[in-house]
């Protein structure tokens, strides 16, 4: 394909992304409030005035209205243009990575579902299981027709459900409850159906890494608020020594320093986890999303 045609298609993919992002904002908002997705027309949550069509242009309207409602000047959440831009980027990445193929459409559907579930999970710790079920069905169909890997897709689905249910039920051993919600099982099953068994294992590994991105800062912040500075200082020293080992000096001394600090840090973390009363909230769906998108694009 010549570069001009390619850029032309990319342009329209971006426009589609913006429009769908605008639609996803509505889906996120209404799946939290249990309203119909199609009716009624969008209105300002503060003054209830119905929005005019030109108030609904993705990103452009937000900039034009300077982030305020046209009627009552109430601030509009930055979430709206952000979701639109993120959706645009996801669609564009899918097109750049896969071209105009079924893989591209699959990537678009996958990242859209994950984005919506991530936002509702982050906002209200609520995930619409129907979206996960729909994604699982798409994964099965995609693997049947495009990859001719239907069985692998089924194995992935089963493995995702079984692994997450087992992990969730370990919660009963430690405290009186599931370690995390049922929605996470649905999402893992859907990802298994999308990526197959081996893909799922890799995605779960990336998910584990991604969850650290959320959990470590939250844990350190909590420790700092409790006046527990030692753990934060030790963590910074550990990161610095890791950087030092990686970039400046690689010998047994710098390695020993790294291991020693890591050992002290893990002892302190374990000691503090024991005295922690409220459980640390694990944002699993956002971690799943990061893991799955990393697997999809890289």
Residues of the shown chain interacting with Zn ion in the complex, contacts defined by CB under 5 A: 44, 46-47, 69, 71-72, 74
Residue 152 Cα distances to 217, 242, 248, 281, angstroms: 37, 39, 45, 32
| Closer Cβ to Zn ion, 46 or 271, answer by number | 46
H helix intervals, the chain? 3-33, 60-64, 79-98, 102-124, 129-145, 150-174, 182-225, 229-247, 252-275, 284-297
Q: Residue 26 or 133: which CB sits closer to Zn ion?
A: 26
Shortest CB 70 distance to Zn ion, Å: 7
DSSP secondary-structure letter at 62?
Answer: H
**Least distance between Zn ion and beta carbon 42 (Å):** 11
Smaller CB separation from Zn ion, 57 or 89: 57
| Residue 265 CB partners (closer than 8 Å, separation 6+) | 231, 234, 235, 238
Rounded to a whole number of angstroms, the minimum distance from the CB of residue 290 to Zn ion is 34
Q: Are 27 and 37 in contact (CB under 8 A)?
A: yes
Distance in Å, CB of 61 to Zn ion, minimum: 13
* CB closer to Zn ion out of 35 and 74: 74
CB of 27 vs Zn ion, minimal distance in Å:
21
Could you give the C-alpha distances from 85 to 26, 77, 91, in angstroms and in order?
15, 14, 10
| CA separation for the pair 64, 77 (Å, rounded) | 14
Q: How far apart are CA 150 and CA 108, in angstroms?
A: 20
State residue 197 phi and psi, 5-degree precision: -65, -55
Q: Nearer Cβ to Zn ion, position 57 or 265?
A: 57
Q: How far is the CB of 72 from Zn ion (least distance, A)?
A: 4
Nearer Cβ to Zn ion (71/144): 71
């Amino acid at each position: 394909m010549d570069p001009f045609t390619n850029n032309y298609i990319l342009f329209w993919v971006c426009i589609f992304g913006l429009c769908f992002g605008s639609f996803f904002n509505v889906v996120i908002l209404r799946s939290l409030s249990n309203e119909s997705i199609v009716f009624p027309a969008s209105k300002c949550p503060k003054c209830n005035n119905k929005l005019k069509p030109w108030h609904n242009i993705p990103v452009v309207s937000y900039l034009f209205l300077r982030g305020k409602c046209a009627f009552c000047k109430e601030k509009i959440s930055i979430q709206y243009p952000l979701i639109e831009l993120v959706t645009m980027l996801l669609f564009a990445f899918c097109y750049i990575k896969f071209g105009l193929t079924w893989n591209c459409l699959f990537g678009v559907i996958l990242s859209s579902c994950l984005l919506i579930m991530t936002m509702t999970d982050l906002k209200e710790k609520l995930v619409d299981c129907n979206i996960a079920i729909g994604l699982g069905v798409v994964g099965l169909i995609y693997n049947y027709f495009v990859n001719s890997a239907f069985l692998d897709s089924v194995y992935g689905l089963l493995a995702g459900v079984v692994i997450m249910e087992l992990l969730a039920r370990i919660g009963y051993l430690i405290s009186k409850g599931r370690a995390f919600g049922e929605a996470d099982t649905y999402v893992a099953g859907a990802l298994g159906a999308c990526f197959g068994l081996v893909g799922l294992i890799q995605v779960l590994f990336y998910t584990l890494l991604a969850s650290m991105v959320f959990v470590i800062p939250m844990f350190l912040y909590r420790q700092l608020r409790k006046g527990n500075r030692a753990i934060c200082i030790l963590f910074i020293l550990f990161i610095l020594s890791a950087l030092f080992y990686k970039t400046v000096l690689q010998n047994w001394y710098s390695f020993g320093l790294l291991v020693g600090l890591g050992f002290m840090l893990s002892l302190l973390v374990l000691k503090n986890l024991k005295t922690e009363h409220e459980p640390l909230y694990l944002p699993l769906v956002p971690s799943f999303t990061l893991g799955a998108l990393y697997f999809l694009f890289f």
